[in-house]
Amino acid sequence: MTVAISLLIGAALVGWFAPDFLSRGVARGGDPLVAIVAWLAAAVAVVLTTTVGIVLVLLPDHGFGESAVATLHDCWSTIQHGTTPSIEAVSGIVGALLLIGLAVRLALALVHGTRRRARVRADHLATLRIAARRDGTTLWLDHHEPLAFSLAGKPGVIVATQALAEQLTQAQVDAVFAHERAHLAGRHHLIIAIADAMAHTFPFLPLFKLAPGVLRELVELTADSAAVRVCGADAVRAALLKVSQHGAPGTALTMSGTAIDLRVSRLRTGRSPRGRVRQLVYCGFAGATALVLPTIAASGAVLAVVAVACPA
């Protein structure tokens, strides 16, 4: 039982403290894409570690010799004979039911969110096809405010206003489009949808509760970095300050929608984004580390218990 409880403690520690660590890393100038990978990997690791911990609690001998069905049968048998089931059996069954309930809740949240976003996107596109002028994958609206946003789908669509082309320089317009293309290429809309579903399903841990807001900031920072590679930091910063944040639908991602002050500050520093290969290496390392972090925390919990229970 010690191993199972340690795994659950390790998952809880990562779920509670990882957000602060990752947020501080980005605030100090860390790569936002690396932070996204680490955040999502940590979320997967917490779910998997919790699942393994509950499975081990469900199996009284902490192995796989006795099935969950046998455990449930023994528990029911003891109740029928008027005796009290063991704490391990009861906690294991309760944990399994809780796990199943959360899995169903997550699946429903994902399905509901996907359908809602698809419906909203279809409604917006139906309106835009009437009011907008199509130019390739871009829809141009006759509007007095400079605005651009992207809508996910197959294919993804970028919507821009005529004022964007009239009030911004060509370099700034290119920066806006590079930013929105980065959203579509990086599947940032899907990342936000997953974050919303996680927050709805697991609102009791900061790693999941804070995911929608933090990941929205991170995908904007990531898109900024992609635009800087193409157009330079000066053009991206100037475009960010000029583009309107009003008028974009809720399911869209728009350049000036989130964390303006932080993004302008990072763009002003002039730090060049990492090269693709180096960024890929950092993402792989961050993801792998985040995946084993709950297990490392669980090992620390086991060592702490041993140190307290078995002093030298």
pLDDT 10s digits, 105-132: 778 877 877 777 777 777 766 666 777 7
Helices (H) and strands (E) in the chain, counts: 12, 5
pLDDT at 67 over 50: no
Burial group, residue 131, by CB count within 10 angstroms (0-12, 13-18, 19+)? exposed
Give residue 245's pLDDT band: very low, low, confident or very high (50, 70, 90): low
Residue 76 has pLDDT above 50, yes or no: no
Q: How confident is the model at residue 65 (pLDDT cuts 50, 70, 90)?
A: very low
What pLDDT, in 10s, does the model give residues 150-209? Answer: 888 788 889 999 999 999 999 999 999 999 999 999 999 999 989 998 898 888 899 999
Residue 158 phi, psi dihedral angles, 5° rounding? -110, 130
Between 311 and 70, name the one with better pLDDT: 311
Q: Is the peptide bond before 212 cis (omega within 30 degrees of 0)?
A: no
The tokens for 5 are: 């409880």
Name the β-bridge partners of 138.
135, 158
Between CA 185 and CA 179 the distance in angstroms is 10
Rounded CA separation 34/38 (Å): 6
Among 201, 18, 16, 214, smallest CA distance to 110 is for 201
Looking at residue 42, what is its pLDDT? 96
What pLDDT, on the 0 to 100 scale, is given for residue 310?
66
Residue type, 252: A
> Residue 143 — pLDDT band, cuts 50, 70, 90?
confident
Measured between alpha carbons, how far is 176 from 163 in angstroms, rounded to an integer? Answer: 13
| pLDDT at residue 291 in the model | 94
Q: 258-269 in b/e burial notation, b at 16+ Cβ within 10 A?
A: bbeeebeebbee
State the pLDDT at residue 151.
86
Domain ranges of the chain: 2-309
Q: Which positions ≥6 away from 70 have C-beta within 8 Å?
A: none
Instruction: Decide: 59 and 1 in contact? Cβ < 8 Å.
Output: no
Neighbouring C-beta atoms of residue 245, cutoff 10 Å? 15
**Residue 35 or residue 75, greater confidence:** 35
pLDDT confidence tier of residue 218, bands split at 50, 70 and 90 = very high
